Amino acid sequence: MALASVALAQARTLLNDDTSSVWSDAALIPKLQIAHQELQMALWEVGSPAVRKESGLLAVVASASVVDMSGTTPAQPTDMLTPTKIYEYTVGSVYVGEMTEVFYLPLDIAVSGALTYWCWRKEKILFLGCSVDRKVKIQYRKLITVPTVAGSDLGLSFAELYLGPRAAALAAGAVGNAEVLGIATEMAKVNFQKVVAAHRGQQKPPNRP
């Protein structure tokens, strides 16, 4: 993994400021953070495995009422932005099936021997409850920590190929340098495809979960 300092140095080269006389780390890091967030979103839109993750089996204790996974032990993953699929298992780790996502839990249905339904509300996974202990496995979109200092890990291999030019473009745009803005923007677009290729897997069309 590259450090933020690598992307910052690349941005300064494109801005013709290798000595940091104009663009200090403090001035460029906010641009780098915007670029980093854009990169994560763009990778999600093309279905990149780089921003996808699967949890291990997580225990769900039997409950006669709604189960909030954010407050259980073990709890829902801390690096989860949003779940995409949840699979149910018996306490003996025997696969039961894929659970059904609903916008609201069907509270008029009595708690049974299976979880069956799940709901994503206020950044929490909710289950209707179950009369026996269960386990679940969560597939989700993961958060890659946004860099805050030059020594921060970018969290993605070859991310600097996109982040350097994109940060330079944002910096150039901020001071009205249209020429560098255009050049750096095009470089970032080309290099984004290189980042995608570096993490290629079973990628899906844009706007698919």
**Strand, coil or helix: 136:** strand
Residue 209: what pLDDT? 47
Q: Which helix (H) or strand (E) holds 27?
A: helix 25-45
Residue 74: what pLDDT? 81
Q: By 3-state DSSP, what share of the chain in percent is helix, strand and coil, each rounded to 5?
A: 35, 20, 40
What is the pTM assigned to this prediction? 0.86
CA dihedral of 107, 110, 115, 119, whole degrees rounded to 10: 0
Q: pLDDT digit string (tens) for 152-186? A: 999 999 999 999 999 999 999 999 999 999 999 99
- Give the chain's mean pLDDT: 93
Q: What is the mean pLDDT of residues 119-138?
A: 95
Residue 205: what pLDDT? 52
Q: What is the mean pLDDT of residues 111-116?
A: 93
Q: pLDDT digit string (tens) for 34-47? A: 999 999 999 999 98
Q: pLDDT digit string (tens) for 63-108? A: 999 999 988 778 899 999 999 999 999 999 999 999 999 999 988 8
Residue 201: what pLDDT? 61
pLDDT at 5 over 50: yes
